[in-house]
Amino acid sequence: MGDEQVTGRWTLPGWVFYEIEGHGFPNIPGPIYRVERDGAKPHQQDPDSYRTLDEALAQALAAKYCGVRGAGGTGVGTAADWFLRSIGAGQLAAVPDAEALTALLTAFNAAEGFPPVGLREVGRRVLTDLESKGYVLARQAGS
């Protein structure tokens, strides 16, 4: 996909893991990860990319013990997907109000066109409006 560069490579017995920059997925900041099974034929390789090395490792283990996934798509989960969800890996956690306001103020200060005066009040209004619509600012759990 464009300017992909392998920036990391790790080998474990039976697998090779790759960290890839320049992947071309605009909704994924930072690298993605792929895994290959040693000795597997090209059609047996996992063609998917993962957001974290942890997810790639879990998918490799699930494929080893449960078989390679035969279907794909947004509605199809794997044993590894279930496992990662069950332990909360990569899940979002609500940001406490003080941190949410700080994050908004940081974003406002970095954005052009926002007046520096009254940003705290604007931030509170934005958070109140988002909450009234059922939205919250969140971050990945554990970060």
Please tell me whether residues 32 and 96 are part of one structural domain: no
Decide: 56 and 17 in contact? Cβ < 8 Å: yes
pLDDT tens for each residue of 91-136: 666 677 777 777 777 777 766 666 666 777 777 787 787 777 777 7
CA atoms of 26 and 65, how far apart (whole Å): 33
- Residue whose C-alpha is closest to residue 102's, from 82, 124, 75: 124
Q: Tokens for 23, please give them.
A: 């992947």
Say yes or no: 53 and 108 in one domain: no
Same domain, 38 and 73: yes
Residue 113: give the domain boundaries: 92-140
Domain identity same for 99 and 70? no
CA–CA gap between residue 140 and residue 78 (Å, rounded): 21
Q: What pTM was computed for the model? A: 0.54
Q: What is the mean pLDDT of the chain?
A: 75
Same domain, 72 and 15: yes
**Residue 16 shares a structural domain with residue 63:** yes
Indicate whether 13 and 58 sit together in one domain.
Answer: yes
Total of domains in the chain: 2
pLDDT at 97: 75
Q: Are residues 11 and 77 in the same domain?
A: yes
* SS3 label, residue 57: helix
Residue tagged 């063609």 (tokens): 47
Question: Higher model confidence: residue 57 or residue 93?
Answer: 57
Domain shared by 77 and 113, yes or no: no
